[in-house]
Amino acid sequence: MEPKKISIISIIVLIAGFGIMIGFQAYTITQLSGQGEGVTFSTDLFAEKTTLDISGSTTCYPTITTCADMYMSLYPSWDIRVGSGGSGQGAEDLANGVVDIGMMSRNPKFDEIVGFGGPENISWYDTKFALDGVSVIVSKAGIAPNIDWMTLDELHMIYTGGYTNWNELSNCTTNLAISPRVRESGSGTRGTFEELVIYNATGQELGENSSYTGAGYPQSDGNPAMAEDVGNNAGSIGYVGLAFVDDTEHILIKIKAWNETADDWGSPIEPTESSIRAGDYAISRFLHLITLGATPTGTAKLFIDFVMSETGQDIVEATGYIKVAHY
């Protein structure tokens, strides 16, 4: 999967264009201010800053920072500060009043608000702004395993220690030790992976298996680190958001899920827009913007409305994810 560099560059150029335009306006007003009375100053340029704080998922981070940059170019009186730290961090910061919006790459849990000190009767609103597929990647470094698909059971077995060499899998003959990597605790990508990688015969989620939870696999803090760590270490396997797959560094693994109708494993499915939108890819998910209250209000609502607008959804697509709104 090639990163959508052209689209992202176009967005950067557009943002830069707005910056040049705004800078020219400011220069013109400065020049005019010394040439007589009656000059009207732009309220946008000189108004007190409107602030908005956002934190959370590293999966959401590239899209939301790009949306924030575009929004601040359109409305220079806004100051939008976006931090990462993982989905759990976003929930904690939101509950404690540190941020206005929490970014999450897994389904939010109500008890997170209470657990992090929020009011017991608090309500919160979940805006699903994009679709994503948790993408299983294998390193191309060194002697890369000759594999491009595996069953969901085989993926579960890798992470629970059932397979330790690539040649033990049904679709691979490469004699090479398997080195699984995981995301940090609190990662939404990790939470989704642990929930949706299910062993067919028992229905057991990966996160429920003690051999996995006690394995102590190396951790990568964030999607960029996971992508780099897997790419640099021969035999390694990990998982990232769709936007972080790099064809030059990674083998993108297609996944076979169990087909109950056929009573057999289905076809290998790659995480693509069509397979994720149809729910055919087994490790698919929404990306979320979480706000406190029954519905978004104030500055949070204005920004979320922008993310869900045609321009915002174009940014979702340009940064490697899948639109949820159509125009």
pLDDT of 141 strictly over 70: yes
Within a domain: residue 118? yes
pLDDT of 136 strictly over 80: yes
C-alpha–C-alpha distance, residues 257 and 277, integer Å: 16
Both 74 and 27 in a single domain?
A: yes
C-alpha–C-alpha distance, residues 23 and 210, integer Å: 58
> Between residues 12 and 64, which one has the greater pLDDT?
64
Domain containing 234 equals 135-282
The answer to whether the CB of 318 falls within 8 A of the CB of 310 is no
Give the pLDDT confidence score for residue 10 in this predicted structure.
Answer: 53
Both 102 and 12 in a single domain?
A: yes
Give residue-wise pLDDT tens across range 20-41: 333 433 333 233 233 334 333 3
Torsion of CA 278, 322, 253, 232, to 10 degrees: -170
What percent of the chain shows pLDDT beyond 70? 82
Give residue-wise pLDDT tens across range 185-213: 989 999 999 999 999 999 999 999 999 99
Both 84 and 165 in a single domain?
A: no
pLDDT of 6 strictly over 60: no
Two tokens, residue 57: 């998922």
pLDDT of 2 strictly over 70: no
Q: 3-class DSSP state for residue 47?
A: coil
Give residue-wise pLDDT tens across range 74-133: 999 999 999 999 999 999 999 889 999 999 999 887 677 666 666 666 788 999 999 999
Per 3-state DSSP, what percentage of the chain is helix, strand, and coil (rounded to 5)? 40, 25, 40
Both 181 and 212 in a single domain?
A: yes
Both 143 and 122 in a single domain?
A: no
Give the pLDDT confidence score for residue 117 in this predicted structure.
Answer: 62
Within a domain: residue 245? yes
Within a domain: residue 18? yes
**What CATH number should be reported for the domain holding residue 16?**
3.40.190.10
Q: How many domains does the chain have?
A: 2
Both 152 and 270 in a single domain?
A: yes
Within a domain: residue 272? yes
pLDDT of 11 strictly over 70: no
If pLDDT is split at 50, 70 and 90, which confidence band does 46 have? low
Give the pLDDT confidence score for residue 123 in this predicted structure.
Answer: 80
If pLDDT is split at 50, 70 and 90, which confidence band does 261 have? confident
CA 287 to chain CA centroid, Å, is 7
Strand-strand pairing, 236-240 and 179-180 = parallel
